[in-house]
Structure formats: C-alpha cells, structure tokens
Amino acid sequence: MMKIDSNFAEASNHPLEWLETDARGGYASSTLTNSHSRRYHGLFVPNLLKPEGRYVLLSKLEDSLLFNEKESFFTAHRYPGFLFPEEEIPLTEFTLDYFPGFTYRIGGVVVKKSIMLPAGKSSLLVRYDMDKCPKGAILRLKPFLAYRGYHELSHENAFFKNEPKRITNGFTMSLYDGMPAIYLQTSRKSDFTPSGLWYKNFQYAEEINRGFDGEEDLFLPGVIDIPVERKCTVILTVCLDQPLKNPSAAWQTETVRRGRERKTDRQRIPFKDDPDAALHLALLEAGRKFLITAPNGKHAVIAGYPWFGSWSRDTLISLPGLCFHAGRTEEGIAILKEITDHEQDGFLPNFFSAAGAPAAYNSVDSSLWYFWAVQELLNVTGDSDLIRIHFWPAMKRIIAACIRGTKFNTGIDNSGLLHAGNHDTALTWMDALVQNRPVTPRNGFPVEINALWYNALCFSRQLTDLFGEEELFDPGFIPHLRTAFLETFWNGEDNCLGDVWSEGKLDCSIRPNQIFAVSLPFSPLDADEQKSVVKTVRERLLTPFGLRTLSPADSRYHRNYRGDPEERDRAYHQGTVWPWLIGAWGEAVLVAAENKDEEKENLRKYLRQFLEKHLPEAGTGGVSEVFDGDLPHCPGGCISQAWSVAELTRLYFLIGKQ
C-alpha cells in the first residue's frame, strides 16, 4: 500500500495524479484534490461499444460536508484566475491500496473517500466512510456531466436534454440522444433537487501547458443531499443501463477479488524476502490495469493511460512482462492470437479501434517484435505445439513477405539486410511527425529492425529444426546476414553501432536502438562487440529513469520534453528518456557481463532507486511514458505506460533467476 501524507506538493502545473481502471478499457482519474488538470480526467469514463470509444460521462463530483452552518469541500475546481474553494481542501492522506483512498479531517470529523471501478461492470462506486459526524450533518454531492469523447471538450449547447428522472435515492438521465443513460443512486436515503445548470470555464492547466484548448463547461443536473451522523457509510453508485442493487455487496466482492489477485501476484515474485518484493508487487499490480476485455469481448492491451488505445507494437513488447512472466499466460496467448488473425502481407496492424477493428498497417517492426513475443512465450511455457499450431504459420508468412518484398518499400537487398520506408514515412518506434515529416528520419536500414530481423531468422531456423520442416531460406543466408550487419552498422570511431544505413551512408547518431543487437536472444555481434555497445550506451545514454533517445553531445539533442505538440514531437525521440528501454538495457548488461551476480545486484539497485523515487510521483503507482533528458528528469507523457511497466517487470524476473 502506498501512502502520501498532507505534506505533498499539489503544484498547479504538475499535480500528483491517480488512476483506477475497470478491466474494460474504462477508467477514473484526476489529481489528489480532484481538481482536473487534463481533459482526460474524469470520474466515470467507460469504454463503450456504441458509440465506440471512451466517453467522459461523469466528469467529477463536487462533494462536501455541511454542519454547524459551514460547508467543507473535498473537491477543487480551477477556473481562469482562481481556485474554488478558496480555503485548502482538508485532505490529510492519500492511499493507493486495492483502490484510491482520500482521508479528510474537519475538526474532529474524519471522512474516508474511496473510489472503485468493479472489473468488467462499467460502473463506479464512490464510498464515504464517516466518523464522528454531528447530528444534522449533510453529505452533499453535485455531479458534473460532460458526456463527450475523452479527446474532446464539452461546452454549453442547444442539443442537450435536461430530463433527469427521479429514482429511489437518486436519478437517471442521458444528456444527448444516442448516448447511454447513467443511473446515480445512494445507498442511504437522500434527496435529489434538480437544477439544470451549466458551470462554465473549468480550466485544465496541463492541457494549456501542452498547447491545447484547456477550458470546458460541465452540466449539473441537480444536487443530492444525504443526511449523515455519527459513524456511517454512504456509497454512491453510477451505472449504465440499470441501477446497482446491492452496492455494499459489490464493493465487498470486488475487494475480495483484488485480494485474490494480490495473493497470486505475491506468489510470482522471485525474491520474496528481499526489500524489493514490495516494489515488484507494485509493478505486477500496475500491469493488470493495461489488460482488458474490450467491449467486443476480445482481450487487448491498453498502451497507456489516459489517452492511448491498443497498439500492436506496444502490445507485443509488453506481453512478456505483463502476461507471460507474470502468470497471466492464457490472457497473453489470447491477445497474441487476436493480433495473429490480422496479419496481412507480412504486416500487423499498428493499432486497434476501441471496438477491436485493426487499422493502419504502417509499422515495420511490429511483425518482428511478434517473433520476440513468441520466443518469450515459448521460453516460459515450453509448449512448442502451441507455437506450431497458432503462431508458426503467420511467422512463415511474415518472413516470406520480407524476402520477396512488400508494402512501404519493405524488403531485403543482396546482403540480406531489411530496408523499409522513404523520406515521408516513419515506420519504426521513433515515429514522431511534424508537418507530416519524420522528426527522426529512419528510412533505409534501421539498426534495430535488422537486429530484430536477424533474431527472427535465427528463431525460425530453430523452429524448422524443432518441427522437422524444410528450411525457409538458404543455410548460408544467416552467416551472410551477420557479416553484412557488422560491416554495415559498425561505427569504428565510437566503437558501437550506427543507427541507420541510408543512401550509402551510415548515420552514426548515438541512439539506444543499437542495444537490441545485444539483448535479443540471437545477436549478430560477438562478445567483444557486445561489451563495446553496452559500454557506449551506459556512458552516453543511461539515466536513472531509462535510456535517452539521443546522446547529449549531439547538436540535435533536446533537454526537455515539454511545450506545444510540435515542440514535444521534436523532442520525443531526440533526447527524451524512455523507461521501456531499460528492459533491453538490463538484458544486454547481463549478456555482456563478466560477473553476472554483480551486475544483477547493480540492476536491482537501479530498479529500487527508480521505483522508490517514481512510484509516488506523477501518476501514483504507475510508470510514466517518458522523462526529460536532463536533470532532474521530470516525468512526462502518459502517467502510466504499458511497456514502461512491462519491461521493468520483465527485468525483475530476469535478475531474479538463479
């Protein structure tokens, strides 16, 4: 359990944030004072089938306690030029255990608010446990509705329907035609007083900092008053389609379910008596948030909260850490099968819609990460029949497509190296565009694409031997490719690998992509070359929170990831630190190590310092998408990113092996 006391700094630009998810792609999220700083913040943001996608239905509650002619607020709102209420929110402690919890003290009165999204239910429970409430006290709830897509903003308009219908201890309504109705109901007797007012100009500082419109209007259908006294509990339920019959039972059932999950996770920790066990457990629990059953019933991985959807590259890189090593193998297999079903011409879809439809076959490396994900699955399960039946046919089609040539100028030359793209495309993970042009041009022969290609071919040869099948290519192809890889990418001046061979020239930028030529199961480098690459990456790119995407000595290096969308895109892969790369880095360190036990201890220390510093900041309990390249390495991007969590988790398992 994580605790943050009242001494935390709730800075207006980068407040601490919390996240709760529902295992369907829906979520609740805000700051610790529940003063939204992003358009993506919301208390009830379900992932819908119709209309498709995530929708901020209930943006927030203005909750307060009234007694002795005074109203004390538990939620803040930022408007242009001021914060409401003027007095400080009486929050004394935030806890993150089975669910986010907020403790408030008003004189001798203690209120514990907890927020839960029961798994798979598309419903919200907000629980208030109160102690020493005086007679005549009122818990007042003002629900503010947005009813809009989570990328959008709401504004007063002529199309809304102010038609709340009373139900027992609450009301139901839908703000617009074609949108689902929500049911708000309290577990104790309450009074609902309709108001039908628009509150204007809620201001979201983080959106403004990121160069976007950051103001919206929210609709207040009415006010719910609940008489409370002494020691009592009130649970507000917010549901789609129909009211929840027994909120107390639902709360208890979900708490027990999460307890079972935690017990299962504890059993997976490799070194249980080590002080790192609690950090590893926190990663395992964070990882569950990305595994969903989408509204179409398909298993999927959310790439990052709050704004990413399901992306194939992120999914394939995340599956070993989130699923195969974490004891969630069956779920991982289901996700891998779903991706397999959508292979076309050697490519896998770049992302899936909220309804599960594949889209944008424009990622050259997803198909090659697919081989690595299957390798990891085989290493964990040892089930070669599973691989042969469900994944091997797609693997053979991908190799055949790359050899003969396929879309986006993807194919091999006489050396056997794999090329892809042109000046206008961004097909690797460094895919930021500004004015429709790649910020980090990598058309031609990218180093990690060819490391992945070499690994895929070696793994395929291993499988043909295992399955007793004919070779997919000439036996001399792999040795020829290995020689070509070194001749093409070796940067003798820096004793490492260059980044891209294009138009007869090697781009010698010092980037982290070279580390995969060491970390992947089959490496085209010899032992000395591996050590040299690790040494260069350690000296030029390693930070306390991951690897920089470009050496600080490079004139194109960006120190910070901030500003408007164009500024951030220019920095995204030009120095910005990415935590997910630490998985490959750690694996490469162990491959090249002369003393593996010593390096394992160094990696444990690294992870310990990383997580002790970062888990209580930014998106509490998660691992951010990126960090600034320069000190103090401020976190940025999504507050919790799947492959960040997954690769740190996988590294824990690697160093936990005896």
Q: Residue 339: in which H helix or E strand, if any?
A: helix 329-340
Beta-bridge partner residues of 496: 491
Q: Is the peptide bond before 632 cis (omega within 30 degrees of 0)?
A: yes
DSSP-derived 3-state class of residue 422:
coil
DSSP-derived 3-state class of residue 556:
coil
- What Å distances lie between residue 600 and 138, 531, 542, 569, 593, CA to CA? 56, 16, 16, 35, 9
DSSP-derived 3-state class of residue 595:
coil
- What Å distances lie between residue 575 and 449, 501, 512, 520, 546, CA to CA? 20, 20, 10, 23, 11
Residue type, 505: K
DSSP-derived 3-state class of residue 264:
helix
Burial 378-407 (b: 16+ CB within 10 A, else e): bebeeeeebbeebbbebbeebbebbbeebb
What is the predicted pLDDT for the residue at 354? 75
What is the predicted pLDDT for the residue at 242? 84
In the chain, domain spans = 2-244, 541-658
CA count, 13 A, side-chain hemisphere, 246: 5
| CATH assignment of 2-244, among 2.30.30, 2.40.420, 2.70.98, 3.40.720 | 2.70.98
Q: Which long-range contacts (CB under 8 A, 24 or more apart) does 93-97 make?
A: 93/3, 93/4, 93/5, 93/6, 94/3, 94/4, 94/8, 94/16, 94/18, 94/32, 94/620, 95/1, 95/2, 95/3, 95/4, 96/1, 96/2, 96/18, 96/620, 96/621, 97/1, 97/2
What is the predicted pLDDT for the residue at 658? 46
CA angle, residues 49, 619, 377, in degrees to nearest 5: 65
Structure tokens at 406: 């396929």
> Measured in whole angstroms, how far is the alpha carbon of residue 299 from the centre of its chain?
16
Complete edge-to-edge strand list for the sheet that includes strand 500-502: 445-446, 500-502, 505-507
- What's the CA gap between 78 and 81, in Å, rounded? 8
pLDDT means per 10 residues in the chain (658 residues)?
64 76 97 96 96 97 95 97 94 96 96 97 96 95 98 97 95 96 97 96 96 97 96 97 90 97 90 80 96 93 97 98 96 97 95 81 96 98 98 98 97 97 96 96 98 98 97 95 98 97 97 98 98 98 98 98 96 98 98 96 96 95 98 97 98 84
Query: Are 28 and 42 contacting, i.e. CB atoms less than 8 angstroms apart?
Result: yes
Q: Which of 222, 255, 273 is nearest to 117 (CA)?
A: 255
DSSP single-letter state for residue 295: T
Structure tokens at 291: 């595994």
Map tokens 């005549």 to a residue: 136
User: How many residues can be counted in the chain?
Assistant: 658
DSSP symbols for 145-192: EEEEETTS-----SS-----EEETTEEEE-SSTTS--EEEEESS--EE
What is the predicted pLDDT for the residue at 7? 57
Structure tokens at 137: 């006290």
